[in-house]
Chain A
């Protein structure tokens, strides 16, 4: 009985904190809008095979360049008569996949390296030179090399983009670590007898979370656009399968005749990027314990 009581008590602060964060997030109308856009995008991507009015790769030359609003083609068709709406829905799949996988790759490698570079002076130079090296290495050659080794695919394109994004993550996490390391609570933790992993995991990483989240929300849209570049060169998604980036670049050839074929996926990318940024910003504010004062 007594034991159970204690457990419940101990459980309260953590779960109540999580609830508080969610409540703060839901009180912010901008955050709800962003979340709604993301939810729609994810649902459209996941259920694309059932929701899409047409096969994304089905051509119909008789219907080529149909403007938006044409019966059966809400957002029009492209040069081969493929339905733009259906292609956007399937394209979202590829783009979200690349965006998330690339950022996950860059964070998984960049955050630990950034923390170590900022915290241990001995290996700072080594890691910082590594970031310079990756930064100096041409992104496209990296991607071509990876494609040559592992084959051209969406996943490999995502990993190549993720690798290219590592230096940015390392630099941001490193500078934040340097700033946090000099604060008194880190010194206080050390005199309390905390070891390096404890200080890094409990004191520095949670305080650096906000900048990492912001970096991630900026990096996702960048990765989505990076995928377009790679797919354009044949290193990403293989035609005729669609992604938002490839639709955008393909449509450029006939942009004056059928601007909607470029504008629609462009709008989709913009909305997606905006939604990620808004949600990231709101999340950062909601995670900040001081925000409840405002």
Chain B
């Protein structure tokens, strides 16, 4: 295994709220190696987006972030503003979920892509514009020379998301964090965006952290998957291993709850996971999934399971070892 580009150690995020503290992420360890696509999956409220935002230092001031996020050996947690500013955009870039509001409505897309280059590389206006056209071609926007002078409202959602990607990769970042990049788009457009991301990884060698709840997207793009539940990573494995043999009951539940042709014939129902993700003031010394788990044991509510070692890691007292029917 090559050395990781992004190494997250013991990352914990707690929010101060009016009702007291709220634990969103609890001791998360993640590693992303060169050119790897790591998918973080989980239900809404599992801490996926909070994890992603803490990587880019985007969390509001009510959040307390502990632990370590190392990008190419540079510690990001607690780094001063100047360091963060030089890293953001150049080393680590971010794609938002909502392409409709992520672009400044009063500037052309070419100007906005060029801005990143002008901030970081001190490029001239004209050079930045030329590069913007190139980037628009890279993300597959037809007649880029003309589109570069368009305003965001003249583009469709899929096109805007492509522009966002072009902005994100303008400075050739080492790591691209894509927070639900396809959730707000049509299925046909989704496929196009995923192709663009795959192309970037191959052409520019960018590592991608993909935040999603769409297992189809994961299967399509990811190399490795980390499953999060209630702020903890409960299982991490190569994408094929995970789909072939989910070991954590939660992962198995997620897979069972996603539609696939032919799988649910006869019942016409998806298998749901009963209940909701708990909102936790603090992380208990127990498995947080135990309440909803069909395989829960007495130990599950008494002691927190930790990730075991190896390529396929799972944090469970009673993992699924037999091949599951999915």
Contact = CB atoms under 8 A, between A and B. Distances in A.
B113 to A, nearest CB: 10
A289 B105 contact: yes
Contact of B130 (A6, A190, A290): A6
Interface string A189-230: 111111100100011001101000000000000000000000
A138 interface: no
Chain B interface size range: 35 or more
A207 B68 CA distance: 37
A71 interface: no
A183 interface: yes
A194 B129 contact: no
Contact of A198 (B87, B90, B119, B125): B119
Interface stretch (A7-15, A27-35, A264-272): A7-15
Interface string B117-142: 00110001111011000000000000
A194 B101 contact: no
A190 B58 contact: yes
A187 B120 contact: no
A9 B96 contact: no
Nearest to B133: A9
Given A188-B167, A293-B153, A193 B102 contact: no
A202 to B, nearest CB: 7
A13 B149 contact: yes
Interface string B140-157: 000000000101010000
A290 B127 CA distance: 27
B164 A193 contact: no
B85 to A, nearest CB: 5
Given A7-B126, A13-B108, A188-B164, A193 B98 contact: no
B171 to A, nearest CB: 8
B167 A192 contact: yes
B108 A185 contact: no
Given A191-B89, A193-B89, A290 B98 contact: no
19 contacts: A9-B129, A10-B129, A12-B149, A13-B108, A184-B96, A184-B98, A188-B96, A188-B103, A191-B94, A192-B88, A192-B89, A192-B167, A193-B85, A193-B116, A193-B120, A194-B85, A198-B119, A206-B104, A207-B104
Closest 10 CB pairs of A and B: A193-B89, A10-B126, A192-B89, A193-B88, A184-B102, A191-B94, A289-B151, A184-B101, A185-B104, A6-B126
